[in-house]
A = this chain, B = another copy of it.
């Protein structure tokens, strides 16, 4: 019953999509098809009932075969600690991580740089899930504008490093890179 690592999962992958686009399910399938051992790295924190429900919904869908670890802030640290060649890591999701960094008043650009710097030397594959949030009307409030600026820059940086990049809409993946 040893874990089988497929050759089809790239060292690093970015899965971008809108709300309810099926991006998480697609990313989970990518990882599940590649390996029997897999680690789910949740950036979410259960602030309210709505979020708890989403987390529970995701957990039920993933089913067995997943270890779970939660880390709202130190993504680079936990990825370096947990990465293993025989166990891909799914990070869900980067936009929530950006929110957590903003709430914690961290230096976002510095944290993005730290994350990007570690990706190339991880001991095993990683798949990042993130929300594309920049395709609507300019938000009224400055915080929301800052958030989508951070998210957009993060996506550009990760996409430049990642071997594979997918854009998911209506559950259907469009390969942008790889």
Give A contacts to B, CB under 8 Å: 14, 16-22, 50, 132-139, 142, 144-145, 147-149, 151-153, 155-156, 158-160, 165, 167, 169-172, 174, 176-177
Residues of B within 8 A of A20 (CB): 134, 148-149, 151-153, 155-156
CB distance from A51 to the nearest CB of B (A): 11
Q: Report which of B21, B22, B167, B171 forms a contact with A169, defined as CB distance below 8 A.
A: B167
Q: List 13 A-B contacts (CB under 8 A).
A: A18-B133, A21-B155, A22-B156, A50-B145, A132-B135, A134-B135, A134-B136, A136-B136, A155-B170, A156-B170, A156-B171, A170-B176, A174-B174
Closest to A150 in B: B20
Q: Report which of B17, B137, B145 forms a contact with A139, defined as CB distance below 8 A.
A: B137
B137 adjacent to A148 (CB under 8 Å): yes
CB distance from A172 to the nearest CB of B (A): 4
B132 adjacent to A137 (CB under 8 Å): no
Closest to A169 in B: B167
Q: Report which of B17, B50, B132, B174 forms a contact with A176, defined as CB distance below 8 A.
A: B174
CB distance from A101 to the nearest CB of B (A): 16
Residues of B within 8 A of A153 (CB): 20
